[in-house]
Amino acid sequence: MKQLPEPSPLPESIPIPKADPPAEMDLVAVPTGVNHRTAAYAYAGGSVFDRRDFYIGAALIEHPRGDLLVDSGFGRDIAKQMATMPRLFRKLTKYDVWKPAVAQLEAAGYDFSRLSGILLTHAHWDHMSGIPDFPDLPVLISRRDRAAFYSREMFGNFRGFFQEFPFNWQDLSFAGGPYLGFPRHHDVYGDGSIVCVQAPGHTPGSIIVFVTLPNQVRYALVGDLVWQREGLTRRVQRPFPIRRLGDFDAEGNRQNILRMISIMQRIPDLIVVPAHDQRAFAEMSQLPNVTTKGLILSTE
């Protein structure tokens, strides 16, 4: 296992951005199922005997100016969607669906008028399956991933199923300046509570979403920058064959892993949430009156 070089902490000259989150704000896990993998698939040096059920789901950001789902998890049409994928992909991808996000929100008595959009960390199948369950809802996405979604440079999505789907795309502007060492950012509501930065690598337009709650607890929803926390805590990438097939720009992703590690050193209380790590989502609030198999805490 080859570790990445240990970066220096984010320099003191780079300020930790201020945030003024509203008192009603919260971050809620919405687990829709799992994809059965192992640690050996997730990160270099992982064991083939260490079963890792990858979280497939969403995170609901509750904000008085409009709630956002970060990604959408499995949707009601996942079986039909999966049928459009190549045979080898279907054979290698074993998953369990618990309950789609829309059904969980319905069971929780959620007021759908509060939901203002789906914020995509990137445009891959396991992050987009549930979008058709929320027709006409804006889908906030980086311009590069929206363009790549319709081109051959993007892999791992349901183009066959989604070819005619009328997405209500809404491009993130990234009009803000530097943020924690990233060159530009998009502050969703202008209060610093939900801030997106460009982190290309896994896909051409992958993003990281920084969320600050009223108690000043900070989260970094890093999408598929790494699949499990060990990618950051052990400073390792995905195994070479996996990243060669699964990352659009492996070197760009490597640089963003190092950047994220330097931020973690500077902000040790930052809660980093890889999109497929159940442990991170188990630390969030949960929806009421929802029955799923629940989140599993792994050993590390």
Q: Tell me the pTM.
A: 0.95
60's tokens: 């609901």
Using CA atoms of 84, 87, 93, 97 in order, give the dihedral in degrees to the nearest 10: 40
Q: Would you call 245 exposed, middle or buried from its count of C-beta atoms within 10 A (0-12, 13-18, 19+)?
A: exposed
CB 76 within 8 A of CB 100: yes
> What is residue 206's DSSP assignment?
-
Beta carbons within 8 Å of 111's beta carbon, 6+ residues apart: none
155's tokens: 């892999």
Strand partners, 271: 219
Strand partners, 171: 141
Whether the CA torsion 134, 198, 58, 115 is positive or negative: it is negative
pLDDT, tens only, 221-269? 999 999 999 999 999 999 999 999 889 999 999 999 999 999 999 999 9
- Tell me the longest C-alpha to C-alpha distance in the chain: 51
Distance, in Å, from the CA atom of 294 to the CA atom of 300, rounded to the nearest integer, reads: 18
Show the domains of the chain with their CATH numbers. Answer: 26-286 (3.60.15.10)
55's tokens: 């979280």
pLDDT at 296: 55
pLDDT, tens only, 133-177? 999 999 999 999 999 988 876 766 776 788 778 999 999 999 999
Using CA atoms of 12, 15, 21, 26 in order, give the dihedral in degrees to the nearest 10: -50
Count of Cβ atoms closer than 10 Å to residue 4 Cβ: 17
pLDDT, tens only, 63-84? 999 999 999 999 999 999 998 8
Count of Cβ atoms closer than 10 Å to residue 17 Cβ: 16
Q: What is the mean pLDDT of the chain?
A: 93
Distance, in Å, from the CA atom of 45 to the CA atom of 47, rounded to the nearest integer, reads: 7
164's tokens: 């005619």
